[in-house]
Amino acid sequence: MENRQLVIIGAGPAGLTAAIYGRRAGLDTLVLERGLFGGAINSTADVENYPALKRTEGMALAKSLREHAEMFGPELRECGVESVSIGGNGKIIRTDKGDVSAEALIIATGTSFSRIGCKGEDRFAGRGVSYCAVCDGAFYEGASVVVVGGGNAAVEEAEYLTRFASKVHIVHRREEFRADVLVVERALANPKIEPVLGYTVDEIAGGDMVEQVVLKNVKTLETKTIPAEGVFIFIGMKPELGFLDGAPGIKRAQAGWIIADDKMETSEEGVFAAGDVREKFLRQIVTATADGAIAAMAAYEYVSNLHYLESALFGRPHAYALLISGIDPGHLAIVQAAEEWKKSSQTDLAIIDVYRAGRIKAKLGVSELPSVAEISGGRAVRTSRISSVGDVKGFMAEAPVR
């Protein structure tokens, strides 16, 4: 099986930034992408909220991100990820081009937006049809736009669009909004917002850009046309994580987003999440790149610690290790006593926190903590559950296996 230090799934802004930082840190880095490198920004006509770039085309930014990553030499591989298996002995990524084992894994697969499926939606994507008000709202200064959806996201984004547009129509198929009452009341108090309830979008039409939206009444099936220069669709979005169906250990929020800490690490050691796929407040290009940089440096720290532990325990002819969990207060008392004993007796004992190093724990064959292990010739020859530093002393006083 192919073995790599760092595997990144997804080559959008988060994944490519992670590749830059991962390679700069010296990690053997592989990026897997099933679609266009650069991600969803390839379908964005203009970007004007990315720092230092006053305005650029989405495809141009995507191309620049890829070229920047390629400068540092990660392998960029076009393939589909079918499943991920995570265990103490590593992370196995199964793709349509073979299996890959990773010491550290960054998931940066982004999101997909729910689509209406009406005539004209695909044709005008990036040319009047948008799925992000924060990204594209400023392009519609003084224009008339349509917002599709009835939940909190749709109503809140409609209110945001009134900063730019002269008129915002909120189209929803039901006779009342699904959004919270206070959210709806605040939005409808804005004179620029006009609700259009009981209608669906039948067609988005125009020439080179969107010019009008054809609506259909859900009861009478009668149609009417609204002049509009932009259509913002907010009927739902979801993280692209189908390949994680076989990896239930990664904790996810109710809507499916991956939960990660401030170092982008998930509930599984050595597995990180970056970009829009993560449970977070704001999903933008700049937040995705920041996530990618953090995730890569956290992955570097993880891999470095892993290699150090491998060397300290298995790269020596003989070693003893006290294995504890750093989050267990009872274990910390044993650690303190063990460190005092080491200092006073010059004992050669490695104290290893395996709370985030399950791979070491599995390699030693230890199932319970705290435990002590004797390693000889690169493998554990004895292990024992302990409850005090006295147990450690007794274990080490026994004649070593030769």
Three-state secondary structure along 48-79? CCECCECCEEHHHHHHHHHHHHHCCCCEEEEC
User: Whole-angstrom Cα distance, residue 261 to residue 272?
Assistant: 9
Q: For residue 2, what is the enclosing H or E element?
A: strand 2-9
pLDDT the model gives residue 88: 59
153 contacts: CB under 8 Å, gap ≥ 6 = 234
Residue 135 designated active-site: yes
Whose tokens are 């550290």? That residue is 104
User: Whole-angstrom Cα distance, residue 236 to residue 115?
Assistant: 8
pLDDT the model gives residue 310: 82
Catalytic residue among 135, 202, 276, 291: 135
Architecture of the domain delimited by 2-113+237-309 = 3-Layer(bba) Sandwich (3.50)
75 contacts: CB under 8 Å, gap ≥ 6 = 29, 30, 31
Catalytic residue among 28, 46, 132, 391: 132
- For every residue of 105-145, which 3-state class applies, written as one string? EEECCCEEECCCCCECCCCCECCCEECCHHHHHHHHCCCEE
pLDDT means per 10 residues in the chain (402 residues)? 96 98 97 92 79 89 96 97 82 95 96 90 92 89 96 90 97 93 93 97 96 96 96 91 82 93 94 96 94 97 88 85 89 92 88 78 86 89 93 84 51
Angle at 24 between CA 22 and CA 28, to 5 degrees: 50
- In this structure, how many other beta carbons lie within 10 angstroms of the beta carbon of residue 112? 14
Please report the beta strands in 234-273, taking only residues with DSSP state E, as ranges in sequence order.
237-239, 271-273
Q: For residue 66, give both structure tokens.
A: 């890829």
Q: Cis omega before residue 370 (within 30°)?
A: yes
Q: How many Å separate Cα 258 from the centre of its chain?
A: 6
User: Whole-angstrom Cα distance, residue 38 to residue 44?
Assistant: 11
CATH class of 129-233: alpha beta
Burial of 127 per CB tally in 10 Å (0-12, 13-18, 19+): middle
Asked if residues 367 and 352 have their Cβ atoms less than 8 Å apart, the reply is: no
pTM over 0.85: no
- In the chain, domain spans: 2-113+237-309, 129-233, 315-397
Residue 136 designated active-site: yes
DSSP state of 16: H
pLDDT the model gives residue 86: 86
Catalytic residue among 136, 202, 276, 291: 136
Exposure string over 363-377, b if 16+ CB within 10 A, otherwise e? bbebeebbbbbbbbe
Please report the beta strands in 208-307, taking only residues with DSSP state E, as ranges in sequence order.
210-217, 223-227, 230-233, 237-239, 271-273
Calculate the alpha carbon distances from 308 to 119, 305, 342, 384 in Å: 58, 5, 20, 23
- For every residue of 359-392, which 3-state class applies, written as one string? HHHHHHCCCCCCEEEEEECCEEEEEEECCCHHHH
Whose tokens are 């930034």? That residue is 17
Angle at 147 between CA 56 and CA 155, to 5 degrees: 110
Specify the CATH superfamily of domain 315-397: Glutaredoxin (3.40.30.10)
Asked if residues 212 and 231 have their Cβ atoms less than 8 Å apart, the reply is: no
- C-alpha radius of gyration, the chain, whole number: 27
pLDDT the model gives residue 93: 96
Q: For residue 357, give both structure tokens.
A: 């190093």
pLDDT the model gives residue 399: 56
User: Whole-angstrom Cα distance, residue 187 to residue 194?
Assistant: 9
Tell me: the pLDDT tens digits for 295-342?
A: 999 999 999 988 888 888 888 888 899 999 888 888 999 999 999 998
Asked if residues 42 and 58 have their Cβ atoms less than 8 Å apart, the reply is: yes
pLDDT the model gives residue 45: 67
Domain 2-113+237-309 identical in fold to domain 129-233:
yes
